[in-house]
Amino acid sequence: MIESASYIPHTVPMPDDGLCPYCGVAMDGTYPAVNAPVIDHTIPLSKGGRHTPDNTLMICNRCNCIKRDRPVSYLLEKLHQSGALAKT
């Protein structure tokens, strides 16, 4: 029996277009490049979010560095202010 299910390893899929869902940059860099793909927890782990498929997605390293453990709304506001928000 598994003692704790709080950490469930899974593969986080890349977006089909390979673009960061927040700023739209092509995530084809190699970490620690700003355009390297990294796993983001939509609800940060430190805020009670879990490492589950519905709370994780691949975003670019730059967006992750801006967002850190803040809500998505903070990142979107920062991207909007800098004119880097992905056109949707």
Applying CB under 5 A, the residues found at the interface with Zn ion are 20, 22-23, 60, 63
**What is the smallest separation between the CB atom of 14 and Zn ion, expressed in angstroms?**
13
Please check whether residue 12 is in contact with residue 54, taking contact to mean a CB–CB distance below 8 angstroms.
no
Report the C-alpha gap between 79 and 77 in whole angstroms. Answer: 5
- Cα Rg of the chain (Å, integer): 14
**What is the smallest separation between the CB atom of 59 and Zn ion, expressed in angstroms?**
5
Q: Closest CB to Zn ion among 23 and 57?
A: 23
Q: Closest CB to Zn ion among 8 and 65?
A: 65
**What is the smallest separation between the CB atom of 16 and Zn ion, expressed in angstroms?**
16
Q: Closest CB to Zn ion among 36 and 43?
A: 36
